[in-house]
Structure 1
Amino acid sequence: MKIIRLTKAFTFETAHALHGYDGKCKNIHGHSYKLFVTVKGIPSEDVNDVKLGMVMDFGDLKKIINKEVVNLFDHAILLNQNSPHKALGDKLIAEGHHVVFTDYQPSCENMILWMVDKIKAQLPTNIELVALKLHETENSYGEWLAEDNQ
């Protein structure tokens, strides 16, 4: 086979709070997130294709991830809309802050699961999402692998 995997890294700054959590992360705090997106496919062999030899143009992948994830989350605060944090978020929005309400607890794990659905929906049909790795800190990350979710 001629299957190739491509990975592109993205960074964004996001704050969140975990309502009901029993540790420090119940407080609003931020992270310098680093997201690694891995896709796979077969490089084009069509000599008339401007993407000859490519699985996917890295620029096309960048457009998808920026649109679906980075532009939404960068310099935003993520708050669970199904918690008392909704009132806080509404107040912050009224003051001009960038708030993203989620329908999930905005943990690293749940953020990844949300990203999987958004990214998969935008990929060309011949490209498969293989993995997402989301670093919350330099040495702490969550990872989603397609092979674990079949």
Structure 2
Amino acid sequence: MNHRTATAVLTVVMATAGLTACGSDKETGQPAPKTPPPAAAPSNPVAPEASSKPSAATEAPKSKGIPPKPDAAAQAKYIAALTAIDPDIVNTKPDKAVDRGRNQCETIANFPKDDQKQIDLTNQRFTSPNHPDGFGPATAAKIRDAVHTHLCPTY
């Protein structure tokens, strides 16, 4: 789930909780008891015990969704692999390339046997000012392979 989607979901949950707290008990006519708002989602979805593991990129998360951010060594190898394919993929924004790759891992997990879907979504996800429509299917396949190898090899 990307940041915008997570924010939208959290907003809807909070709004719904707020609306239900404003009602009244239909049987007694008394105001409904106030319920505390839901706790805000932590800014770092990785559990504290997970951050002490040697390499989050080499271990499968409990549910195959978006993996945790890679450690510095795994990130460096991933960025080097993308740069070797085409330097414009990273385009001086390694954090953005990592985020796109982590999101691509979710696609790999959700469509494990659908190479065409994985490649199509890679091509849509990895864009740059010089490649606003993606890098094309052949390069997208290489990007997908780099993501799979370096960010979520157990998917």
Using the size of structure 1 for normalisation, the TM-score is: 0.28
- Structure with a larger share of its residues in strand: 1
Higher relative contact order (CA 8 A, sep 6+): 1
Bigger Cα Rg: 2
